[in-house]
Structure 1
Amino acid sequence: MTARSLELFLPDDVATTRLGEDLALALRAGDVLLLDGDLGAGKTTLARGLIRTLASDPAYEVPSPTFTLVQSYDTPLPVHHFDLYRLSSPEELEELGFDEAVASGTALVEWPERAGDAMPATSLRIALDHQGDGRRVTISGDGETFDRVVRSLAMRDFLVASGWGEARRARFMGDASARAYETVTLVGRETLVLMNSPRLMLGPPVRDGKPYAEIAHTAQSVAAFVAIDRALAQAGVSVPGIVAQDLDRGFLLLEHLGTGAFLGAEGKPVAERYAAAAELLAMIHGKHFAHRIEAAPGIFHDVPPFDRDALMIEVDLLVDWYVPAVTGAPASDALRDGYRAAWNAVFDRLADKEYGLVLRDYHSPNIIWRAERKGFDRLGIIDFQDALIGPLAYDVASLAMDARVTVPEEIERSTVAAYVAARHAAGAFDEAAFREAYAIMAAQRNSKILGIFVRLDRRDGKPQYLKHLPRIRDYLGRALAHPALAELRDFYLANRLLEDFGA
């Protein structure tokens, strides 16, 4: 393939350092950056800006690797800075541990021509040349690394257009999707959050010619976030204010709601906070939300339904991923047919239950606790772009059976009780119907999560999610204890779907 390239003019060292920052935020483990340029062309300035960004410390000490040939930094993404000017032959790279360095993190290589053809074909080349009082930079490469760098530079352009071009960017957090978040800071101004939300890649067809994300109604563009954000704000929910937006490219500049952890000491649930979150949810469920919401003038988001197909493809993740992982063999056709028949009978019971706006991921990672505030404003809510119109009990189950933390049964009960009390206080409320829907949606959600967490291990190389399986099985057992789910529970027990097979 022919390498692609782009050119930039950097007027001074500040701009060169800023480019290092933009590059750092695009890097992943395995990336190699080749720095070309004469002495004084700015390679060290660029490398220092990049390394300090990875360290999240603008004063981080970054010595030159000229005499050591390699300088390694134990940053969240490990970075190894090579200077090959004194390299005698390409064979010496092995002695420097180049392959091990790239396997564990990212590498910056000055004087790469000394390595001959030993640099990976996927390397990104950054050439710096003097131009007047500044320097001209040419970035060339092909593949995923180049694409990530192009997007990071586009994010800088978005900041420039929004009046934040000189802001310092820093990694903030990511989630299980392709979305990522950064903080942007300028002296004398409130810190903001920069959301990078590329358009969803739908993937291959999995059923009836449709990809999973389409059947499950996963949000395909950032317009969904903007629309739901505006609707929730109008309803009195503390969600991020939108400072600037580029819906075409998937960039948002957002109010920073704070860093207060919803969980207490040592990451444990606090009953009072869960009750407050349940009461906020009850308030939301008492509102009417339009199914079609304007995200920008002339741009509308149609909130999808949490329909039978979406419910079923989610629970199918258990037989698609969890069963093969824990039994060592694919789920049989008989198991699949019986499983779907049992779930279809359960989903029939949702027909007369209460429906409305379901945020879908209403749990501790997406709730910010702001103790200094009053009432509902104590809770900042994020990550709701996948909202659907579905059984309202789903969000209560998402909160009270928090997938990321063990919620003791007494806190689960008090959380649900707080929600029920708030709904009764607001007017007529069918508690029995809610509790049945709560059990159904808790069983549906936790069955789905068992499959997702195994998929994250087997497909995505993230084994850390397996440690959560015992908790999710316990939650599933709690949900299946409801009398309305007796037949489904019998099916799970008969097919050993609640047992630990040593996954």
Structure 2
Amino acid sequence: MKPPAAAAEFLHQHGWGDAQLSPVAGDASFRRYFRVREGDRRAILMDAPPPHEDPRPFIHIAEYLKNSGFAAPEIFARDLESGLVLLEDFGDQRMREHLDYHPEDEDAIYRQAVDLLRDLHKVPAASIAPYDEAQYLREAHLLTEWYCPAQQLDVDADRFDAIWRTLLEPVIAAQHPPVTVMRDYHAENIMLLENGGFGLLDFQDALVGHPGYDLVSMLQDARRDVSDDVEEKMLAYYLSGHSQKEAEEFRSQYAILGAQRNTKIIGIFTRLSVRDGKQRYLDFMPRMWRLLEKDLQHPALAPMAHWFDENIPENVRHRPIPMAKTAP
């Protein structure tokens, strides 16, 4: 992975002219990352090339988080025309790998991650777009737009849409006042810092919405198995201090958000494979179906569980995605 052509001049202009660059693992987007080293100094170069990417949302949320007392990367330099941003380097100690080697720390680290969300939900929400019905529906439709065609399924998409609209009503009603939702808050986007705190990454798609969304993102992690026991303990910990009625309503909305998110991710992972040739994301499909089926067991989701039973029966859910398909 070679640095972008504009990187050398960008770094030179901002006092890193003698720096060495090495690639850092990225994500599912067009963004690329490079570690920048010059003597004892370290930084991260984000390459967010227009028109595919726009680094401004990342910069906006990073500054909001820092101003609110959270550890987002400091922005050292930016060139929005080229899509280059020089960031603070949080190192390589991700929550994911730490727990792989130190499973005994799981409860303590997840509790700390829950505490961070509770603190975030106490500060005024960022000045960004809302997680509204249209956004939730666009994401849920990724299942019928990508997964179902890939599996050659003729499904009742209108009924799917109607059920989601009904399910989302109490979720959207509970988003007042809204909180900042980072949308990808999970073990691969949380860095363990030397001071014992958490460094936050991958929040450029943030919206303002429901406090349960980031919680379900972390506890129903698409890329790491979180046991039912840990999920229940952390959910109960988040809800400590809530009345029984409040807790029951939150748990219902949590299950709806989990089902919506997991439905979306099944669609996204299918799209990444079928359209973009990134077949490694199909390895996560069994986990995604397991998480979705767990959410569908909640009584509030009975109509959606019935839709899945009618339109995507269990034997289909575990069928491999054919690789010969083209984009719809």
Determine if the TM-score, normalized by the shorter chain, exceeds 0.5: yes
Shift of 1:446: 0.1
Tell me the equivalent position of 1:313. 138
Shift of 1:420: 2.1
Alpha-carbon separation, structure 2, partners of 1:484 and 1:418: 22
Alpha-carbon separation, structure 1, partners of 2:116 and 2:31: 26
Tell me the equivalent position of 1:193. 44
Shift of 1:258: 1.6
Letter in 2 for 1:405: R
CA contact (8 A) 2:133 2:172 kept: no
- Kindly indicate whether residue 17 of structure 2 is the aligned counterpart of residue 165 of structure 1: yes
Tell me the equivalent position of 1:340. 161
Alpha-carbon separation, structure 2, partners of 1:331 and 1:274: 41
Q: Name the SS of the counterpart of 1:270 in structure 2.
A: helix
Shift of 1:380: 0.9
CA contact (8 A) 1:231 1:289 kept: no
Letter in 1 for 2:141: D
Shift of 1:451: 1.0
Alignment of 1:6-405 (within 5 A): 25-26=2-3, 152-187=4-39, 189-201=40-52, 221-263=54-96, 264-265=99-100, 270-291=106-127, 303-326=128-151, 329-332=152-155, 335-354=156-175, 355-370=178-193, 372-374=194-196, 377=197, 379-405=198-224
1:251–1:177 distance in 2 versus 1, CA, 3 Å: same
> 1:421-448: CA deviations, max 9, x gaps?
3xx39x9x93233222211110000001
- Kindly indicate whether residue 315 of structure 2 is the aligned counterpart of residue 479 of structure 1: no
Tell me the equivalent position of 2:280. 464
- The TM-score with structure 1 as length reference comes to 0.59
1:492 aligned to 288, 296, 308, which one?
308
Question: Structure 1: which 5+ residue stretches go unaligned?
Answer: 1-23, 27-151, 202-219, 292-302
- Kindly indicate whether residue 232 of structure 2 is the aligned counterpart of residue 407 of structure 1: no
Larger fraction in strand: 1
Letter in 2 for 1:25: K
Q: Name the SS of the counterpart of 1:365 in structure 2.
A: coil
Alpha-carbon separation, structure 2, partners of 1:431 and 1:498: 31
> 1:337-368: CA deviations, max 9, x gaps?
11111111111222321322110111111111
- The TM-score with structure 2 as length reference comes to 0.89
Which ranges of 4 or more aligned residues in structure 1 deviate by more than 6 Å?
none
Alpha-carbon separation, structure 2, partners of 1:284 and 1:392: 9
Alpha-carbon separation, structure 2, partners of 1:409 and 1:497: 24
Letter in 2 for 1:349: P
CA contact (8 A) 1:239 1:257 kept: no
Alpha-carbon separation, structure 1, partners of 2:314 and 2:137: 19
CA contact (8 A) 1:323 1:497 kept: no
Letter in 1 for 2:195: R
Shift of 1:419: 2.1
Larger Rg: 1
Worse-matched range after superposition: 258-267 or 466-475:
258-267
Q: Name the SS of the counterpart of 2:276 in structure 1.
A: coil
Shift of 1:501: 4.2
Supply the RMSD in Å over aligned alpha carbons. Answer: 2.2
CA contact (8 A) 1:279 1:418 kept: no
Q: Name the SS of the counterpart of 1:193 in structure 2.
A: strand
1:160–1:364 distance in 2 versus 1, CA, 3 Å: same
Q: Name the SS of the counterpart of 2:112 in structure 1.
A: helix
Tell me the equivalent position of 1:15. none
Letter in 1 for 2:45: L
Q: Name the SS of the counterpart of 1:245 in structure 2.
A: strand
Shift of 1:267: 9.2
CA contact (8 A) 1:244 1:253 kept: yes
Alpha-carbon separation, structure 1, partners of 2:51 and 2:313: 32
Shift of 1:157: 1.0
CA contact (8 A) 2:273 2:282 kept: yes
Shift of 1:498: 4.9
- Kindly indicate whether residue 236 of structure 2 is the aligned counterpart of residue 417 of structure 1: yes
CA contact (8 A) 2:61 2:126 kept: no
Shift of 1:490: 1.9
Shift of 1:476: 0.7
1:492–1:173 distance in 2 versus 1, CA, 3 Å: same
Alpha-carbon separation, structure 2, partners of 1:184 and 1:497: 49
Alpha-carbon separation, structure 2, partners of 1:168 and 1:251: 16
Letter in 2 for 1:502: R
Larger fraction in helix: 2
CA contact (8 A) 1:404 1:468 kept: yes
Letter in 1 for 2:12: V
Tell me the equivalent position of 1:11. none
